[in-house]
Structure 1
Amino acid sequence: MRFATYTANGESFYGAVADAGMIALNSAFPQWPTLLDAIRDGGLAALGRAAEGRDVTHREFAYQIPLPNAVRLLCVGVNFPDRNAEYKDGSEQPKHMSLFPRFLSGFAGHEQNLVRPPESHTLDYEGEVAVIIGKAGRRIAQDDAYDHIAALTLCNEGTIRDWVRHAKFNVTQGKNWDKSGSLGPWLVPFTDAAQLDEARILTRVNGEVRQDDYLSRMLFPIRRQIEYISTFMTLLPGDIIVTGTPTGAGARYDPPRYLKPGDVVEVEVAGIGVLRNGIEDEVL
């Protein structure tokens, strides 16, 4: 079962994704005005049961990011073999994971265009898996970490590269341009460790594979991410962790291969789906 937030006829809905369109579920669950509310109440299974046997309600619609009202999103950086070497700064592999926040205004939904700003044409792609926390916890043990995940989705953690180094210890500027990245297309309930432990992530630009790796090769596995992050903050239902990108981003080519209008980026993980976005220049 897949769950999405979408718009149709000028209204916002959430519901189950069917082959022929969307099955709206808002009206069946007035206690959960948004998909985030359902996550917070552990309601994905109830949504799935309610969708069974229902007819498609919308055949024409536009995807939004799955949790547009989520409060907190943390990204893990430099988390695959060779990624540290890509920076060519002579530094040793870090002992602890790199973390930074992103804001939801920086993301577009599936099939929406990412926006390249006039201030910089160094828009880059980073294909990643994102996990949605479903159960609150503090100081969560690695053995228990997967019990705190409600769902999975995909992320193109798009970056304006030359704004990442505007300050000595801060990547926030380059990571939060409006609609520079994407989330989606939908949420897939997390039910089996194999969904992550055996996952292969691919990123394609105009059909060419640029990133190709397995989550099992992460330097800081997702269990460790949840343990580490929950050491300093209480993880809450609806929190999103974007777990890291493989080597192969456009900045690491010689010369760099940044995104330009007309390009199409796809992030794919079997069992989750394909997140697809075009590129356009910002209209001033």
Structure 2
Amino acid sequence: MTARFVTYSTASGHGYGLLKDDGLVDLSSRHPEWPTLREVIEAGALAKLAEEGADLAPDLAPGSFRFEIPIPQPEKLICVGVNFPDRNEEYKDGQAAPSNPSLFIRFPRSFTGHDQPLIRPPESPQLDYEGEIVIVIGKGGRRIAEADALDHIAALSLCNEGTIRDWVRHAKFNVTQGKNFDRTGSIGPWLVPYTDESQIADIELTTRVNGEVRQQDRTSRMIFSFRKIINYISTFTTLVPGDVIVTGTPTGAGARFDPPIWLKPGDVVEVEADGIGLLRNTIADEG
């Protein structure tokens, strides 16, 4: 079975471990030299811990811990916009697909973990979903060549890049506001170690709301490949271990329906991808 690394919390604190069918092996208490999965990744130790954890019995029973976002405080959390062909057409502006990726920044506080509610703020009812694949940087670098880019990936995860739609249009040139309300998105449930390009070349990515398929596409159709994304971002900023890159969503978000279909309390959103897993969240109102 593919190793599944989880960051978790309990009443007594936070930690990380290896998820098994019958519970969670706590690795953080065994490795105080690595406080979070970010330091594990920086040490290149995912494979070592996967091997170690495979022989250990679970320390925590299912349901006794809460899933948190896998990398608690990444230095950078960068999101790619408009990265599937049909998404570009949704804008109906007559423009061809862009020659470079559209990028924006999110803060860790804007995300929550698997099986936790996404929070609809009182400022707007326009909470929307965006299912995406996450890559986590393992080896840092600057101006990374496309040919070498995949060597810099440590792990994969999933994201529901939840968005407050009317707040991405509060200003002329940016979407920051609508992308950063507390706990409007999620990342998880876990990290899956990256092995080789075949693992990500043609992943089917699906988003369901209350069991209904709303988004479905394959990574082989992305406008900007994983290689290109890493190459482009590393041109203007140094990537470091633990950096999180959210790589874009297919067509079918709620804003594109007529009339739009916004998420409401009680809804269940699932983001699923081949070989990575299934990220599930409910919706709740703030407070």
Could you state the TM-score of these two structures normalised by the residue count of structure 1?
0.98
CA distance in 1, matches of 2:41, 2:196: 18
Partner of 2:221: 217
CA distance in 1, matches of 2:75, 2:190: 18
Partner of 1:18: 20
Farther-moved stretch of structure 1 (38-47 vs 200-209): 38-47
How far off is 1:121 after superposition?
0.4
Aligned amino acid, residue 78 of structure 2: L
Partner of 2:206: 202
Farther-moved stretch of structure 1 (21-30 vs 171-180): 21-30
Q: 2:179 aligns with which of 175, 181, 202?
A: 175
CA distance in 2, matches of 1:84, 1:208: 23
Aligned amino acid, residue 44 of structure 1: L
Verify: 1:188 aligned to 2:192, yes or no: yes
Verify: 1:243 aligned to 2:250, yes or no: no
Counterpart secondary structure, 2:29? helix
Verify: 1:267 aligned to 2:268, yes or no: no
Partner of 2:43: 41
Partner of 1:145: 149
CA contact (8 A) 2:139 2:241 kept: yes
How far off is 1:34 after superposition?
1.1
Q: 1:129 aligns with which of 130, 133, 144?
A: 133
CA contact (8 A) 2:138 2:242 kept: yes
Counterpart secondary structure, 1:147? helix
CA distance in 2, matches of 1:25, 1:227: 33
CA contact (8 A) 2:79 2:104 kept: yes
How far off is 1:7 after superposition?
1.2
CA contact (8 A) 1:267 1:274 kept: yes
Counterpart secondary structure, 2:25? strand
CA distance in 2, matches of 1:103, 1:10: 25
Aligned amino acid, residue 27 of structure 1: S
How far off is 1:141 after superposition?
1.1
Farther-moved stretch of structure 1 (5-14 vs 115-124): 5-14
Aligned amino acid, residue 104 of structure 2: F
CA distance in 2, matches of 1:9, 1:76: 35
How far off is 1:88 after superposition?
2.3
Could you state the TM-score of these two structures normalised by the residue count of structure 2?
0.97
CA distance in 2, matches of 1:268, 1:281: 24
The equivalences for 1:21-170 within 5 A come to: 21-59=23-61, 60-170=64-174
Counterpart secondary structure, 1:82? helix
CA distance in 1, matches of 2:258, 2:136: 35
CA contact (8 A) 1:8 1:58 kept: no
How many residues align structurally? 283
How far off is 1:190 after superposition?
0.0
Q: 1:9 aligns with which of 8, 11, 17?
A: 11
CA distance in 1, matches of 2:201, 2:107: 27
CA distance in 2, matches of 1:194, 1:106: 31
Gaps of 5+ in 2: none
How far off is 1:224 after superposition?
0.4
Farther-moved stretch of structure 1 (170-179 vs 77-86): 77-86
CA distance in 2, matches of 1:27, 1:110: 22
Counterpart secondary structure, 1:36? helix
CA distance in 2, matches of 1:235, 1:70: 11
Q: CA RMSD in A?
A: 0.9
